[in-house]
Chains A and B, each alone.
Chain A
Amino acid sequence: MADKSTGHLGAHLRENGMLLALVAIVALFTVAIAYDGKSFLIPPNISNIFLQNAHVIILALGMLLIIVAGHIDLSVGSVAAFTGAVAAYLTVTLKLPFYVVIPLTLVVGGLIGAAQGYWVAYWRIPSFIVTLAGMMVFRGATMWMLGGQNIGPFPDEFQALSSGFVPDLLGVGKPHGLTLLVVVLAIGAILWSGLRARARDAEFGIEPEPMAFFWGRNAIVAAGIAFVGWQLANFRGLPNVMVVLTVLTLLYFFFTENTTMGRRIYALGGNEKAAKLSGIRTDRLVFLTFVNMGVLAALAGMVVTARLNSATPKAGTGFELDAIASVFIGGASMTGGSGKIVGVVVGALIMGVMNMGMSILGIGNEYQFMIKGLVLLAAVIFDVVNKAR
């Protein structure tokens, strides 16, 4: 008997649907804000979407791995606040230079991740509980560390982590030459790698996605990158943070798609017992995803601290929810085993665009929360319905 064929088209729709949703939301806000007599897609706003949401994207990258592995981490907001406080202490109180502070803080984050991951992985304490405890413990630790006060300001070198821009090495000035070069190279690289993968797929008899999807998606992506790049080039160029985000996104993209370890995390989340019986050390893998999450939380903590130019006891509140929401809007499954880096970044950008758009429109905080909650629910419902068909 021939076996049922899965909805191949459905899978493509889901992946591309995310991107279309982002475009639609941007378009919606552009129109709504124009109607209000203001403009949305102006260079400072575009720059700010990345600056203000850098921490969400950074956290969501790590959170994806955690969720794919079948776990959850509720502590990342508190850990980000605590590591921000640690960075502040090292920089402001101990007067250490940034090139010592940054690695040291990342190590602290990694140790926190290891401490939580140890219980989850080797003692099989539910991650929800371990990280719920961590959420409280590190919130308290942040307050203790800061003594209830803000610590700041930071030297310029540290602030550059979040508010700096890459200097124009080409010396064009305005528009920012280096930015334009990077944009051209990025679009070229995306098209080249996409076409190469298609060619190899064809060679190996893998059914490629429909041509229309391929070009449609790449046209949107290229246009998006070109537009954002042009606007940034006419403003102050590439923000440092965007470089960090791009490098991290690429790194995690290749990690999840092309490495044996990435593959094993998906297998672990899909069926832990089967993975174990296939010779995969599942406990160590879970442990490492938590260590990774801790390091990324520390990075996010420093980015936020640098942007606010002070470490505060309330920093990072609700970050975990933004990160988790981004992962689920990006199409990951609650039960583990599925989810993609690109989806997560698009998910985080959807949240970021909505945050900014609604703020410009002057929509009150109370409505913002309700709307974001409903968008999260709608995205997941779309997913479930799509799968059930």
Chain B
Amino acid sequence: MPTLLEMRGITKTFPGVKALDNVNLTVEQGEIHAICGENGAGKSTLMKVLSGVYPHGSYEGEIVYDGGPLALRDIKESEAKGIIIIHQELALVPLLSIAENMFLGNEIAKNGVMNWPKAFKEAEGWLKKVGLTEPPSAVVGKLGVGKQQLIEIAKALAKDVRLLILDEPTAALQENDSAKLLDLMLELKAQGVTQIIISHKLNEIARVADRVTVIRDGTSISTMDKHEITEDRIIRDMVGRDMANRYPERKPNPGDVLLEVENWSCWHPEQVGRQMIKGVSLKVRKGEIVGIAGLMGTGRTELAMSVFGRSYGKNHSGTVKMHGRVVDVSTVTKAIDAGLAYVTEDRKGLGLVLEEPIVRNVTLANLFGVSKGGWLDKHRETQVADGYRKQMAIRTPGVQQKVVNLSGGNQQKVVLSKWLFTDPEVLILDEPTRGIDVGAKFEIYSIMKDLAEQGRSILMISSEMPELLGMCDRIYVMNEGRIVGEVSGAEASQEKIMGMILKEGRAA
């Protein structure tokens, strides 16, 4: 197969940081090439160099594309050459229709006047190609993330794509949507579209990729052919060492029942008559790690947030007990006082004040712990934050660093520190390792293990089944706002949990 793209010796320096150091990447015509690496390894920077976000001249090294040198000035030029990147954060305008989004910046128009009939007709064709049956006039914001992702791809196809770059396309998708997307990638490959996929999900890479290039610390480490690809080898190259065990060794020793949620229900905050949580009951013992499995959108986050100070939904009913006594969790403050903590799945949106330093984020939920009569003791505050920095191994020059500058793993440790400073008995961790690289994941798991050994209880919500299986003593399975099953950690398997979800789905 001829080579479509060759990037040779790419080096990109930011003030004080070498983001890319002599990276080589070769992509053959018509293949699916996966790029793996921890967060911050330089994958995104490399793709920005390729797509013209960083113009020619702002980096060293050379790019050969389609037999000729590539010297891009901006994204527009890269798109003209058929290089199209679909970012992790989708770039669709939610209030516009599918057709309007699809031709945004690429309008079918004459002298600035849109030809809508033609646009709709063409949109319909592209939608069919990606397997969507929605009318082109449908408003994008009302569709699920999975469908939006497909619209992004349709949009790329409409631009006559030759090299499609997908940055973590399945990060926000449920399993069946992910499967659909991967199928589409294979289909596009059959039609001759060359693709680069950036992903953390090794099973997906194994499924679709023809070759894999691993990047670590801004350098390309290795490129594997199809027959060489194994998860272990990818991980080893990513973290630079063998990961014999992806989960820490635990000796579970659950005590008495600590948290009990009984017959908990709540309704959607806006849509009248839509019950989101339907009589959920669950128990968590002292020192136990309990998982909640389920597909996205089945109400796990809604359950956690509604219990935590009614932060979600309305018309709540049911009781919450701690140590067998009913506790008032009607506001966040009361929930915190009762011994609960909720670590959100949306770190940046709901967990952190990004523009503030680490120290201010750590103490935010317990300012009373560093103040007297409303008066802050800033030095005590610094001490507290610095203590957590050491304990959690938050990698940063100091606690005055703004959290926006930290990597995902370090940000998560800041959020965990914030909640540990409230001294909770039960921590609800919602997708605690989402968007975190393999090495940092292990650190988060180790912290969880330590917390459980200290006698704290953990309720972990996760869409990654292996981590539930690897960490939990017991797993509840949720579907459509109900608990549909419960398995002990020893008996649990992916098949068993999926079976519970699917069986329920058929019965309903």
Q: What is A's interface to B at a CB cutoff of 8 Å?
A: 1-6, 200, 203-207, 258-261, 263-264, 266-267, 270-271, 273-281, 337-338
Contact = CB atoms under 8 A, between A and B. Distances in A.
Chain B interface size range: 35 or more
Contact of A277 (B332, B378, B382, B397): B332
Contacts of B401: 3, 5-6
Nearest to B372: A260
Contact of B400 (A206, A337, A338): A206
Interface stretch (B59-67, B108-116, B180-188, B362-370): B362-370
Contact of A260 (B335, B356, B371, B406): B371
Report, nearest first, the 8 A-B pairs whose CB atoms are least far apart. Answer: A270-B353, A278-B365, A260-B367, A279-B333, A279-B332, A271-B353, A1-B40, A278-B364
A338 B14 CA distance: 26
B386 A1 contact: no
Interface stretch (B196-204, B274-282, B342-350): B342-350
B344 A277 contact: yes
B367 A263 contact: yes
Contact of B374 (A205, A260, A276): A260
Nearest to A262: B376
A207 to B, nearest CB: 6
B8 interface: no
Given A3-B406, A263-B364, A274-B364, 8 more contacts: A3-B401, A258-B376, A259-B374, A266-B360, A270-B356, A275-B353, A279-B331, A279-B332
B418 interface: yes
B382 A206 contact: yes
Nearest to B394: A3
A261 B374 CA distance: 7
Interface in B383-428: 383, 386, 395-398, 400-402, 405-407, 410, 418
Which of B17, B335, B342, B383 has the most chain A CB atoms closer than 10 A to its own CB?
B17
Given A3-B407, A258-B375, A259-B375, A207 B400 contact: yes
Contact of A266 (B41, B356, B382, B418): B356
B405 A263 contact: no
B402 A6 contact: yes
A154 to B, nearest CB: 37
Interface in B313-370: 331-333, 335-336, 342, 344, 349-356, 360, 364-365, 367-368
Interface string B443-470: 0000000000000000000000000000
Contacts of A6: 401-402, 405
Contacts of B342: 277
A273 B405 contact: no
A277 B395 contact: no
A275 B364 contact: yes
Nearest to A271: B353
B309 interface: yes
B332 A276 contact: yes
A4 B354 contact: no
Given A207-B400, A260-B374, A274-B352, A3 B309 contact: no
A199 B31 CA distance: 62
A204 B365 contact: no
15 contacts: A2-B397, A3-B396, A3-B405, A4-B405, A205-B386, A206-B382, A206-B398, A266-B356, A266-B360, A267-B364, A273-B350, A277-B311, A278-B365, A279-B365, A337-B356
A276 B336 CA distance: 12
B379 interface: yes
A277 B331 CA distance: 10
A242 B226 CA distance: 77
Contacts of B335: 279
A276 to B, nearest CB: 7
Contacts of B40: 1
A275 B356 CA distance: 12
B378 A258 contact: yes
A263 B353 CA distance: 12
A207 B332 contact: no
Contact of A1 (B217, B353, B397, B398): B217
A358 B161 CA distance: 60
A301 B360 CA distance: 36
A293 B382 CA distance: 31
B395 A2 contact: yes
B376 A263 contact: yes
A117 B333 CA distance: 23
Nearest to B40: A1
Which of A3, A205, A337 has the most chain B CB atoms closer than 10 A to its own CB?
A3
Which of B353, B378, B410 has the most chain A CB atoms closer than 10 A to its own CB?
B353
A3 B413 CA distance: 14
B16 interface: yes
Contact of B351 (A4, A200, A274): A274
Contact of A259 (B16, B332, B352, B376): B376
B376 A260 contact: yes
B508 to A, nearest CB: 32
B353 A267 contact: yes
A200 B383 CA distance: 12
B405 A271 contact: no
B311 A264 contact: no
Contacts of B410: 3
B332 to A, nearest CB: 4
B367 A264 contact: yes
A281 B38 CA distance: 38
A80 B402 CA distance: 38
Contacts of B400: 206-207
Interface in B3-50: 14, 16-17, 38, 40-41
Nearest to B415: A274
A1 B407 contact: yes
B353 A277 contact: no
Nearest to B42: A1
Contacts of B396: 3
B218 to A, nearest CB: 9
A203 B41 CA distance: 36
B120 to A, nearest CB: 35
Contacts of A267: 353, 356, 360, 364
A132 B115 CA distance: 41
Contact of A273 (B41, B349, B365): B349
Contacts of A205: 386, 398
Contacts of A276: 311, 332
Given A1-B407, A5-B397, A263-B360, A270 B355 contact: yes
Contacts of A264: 367
A271 B346 CA distance: 12
B330 to A, nearest CB: 12
Contacts of B356: 266-267, 270, 337
A2 B394 CA distance: 10
Contacts of A3: 395-397, 401, 405-407, 410
A200 B331 CA distance: 37
Contacts of A280: 332, 364
Given A3-B401, A4-B405, A264-B367, A274 B353 contact: yes
B354 A271 contact: yes
Contacts of B365: 278-279
Contacts of A2: 395, 397
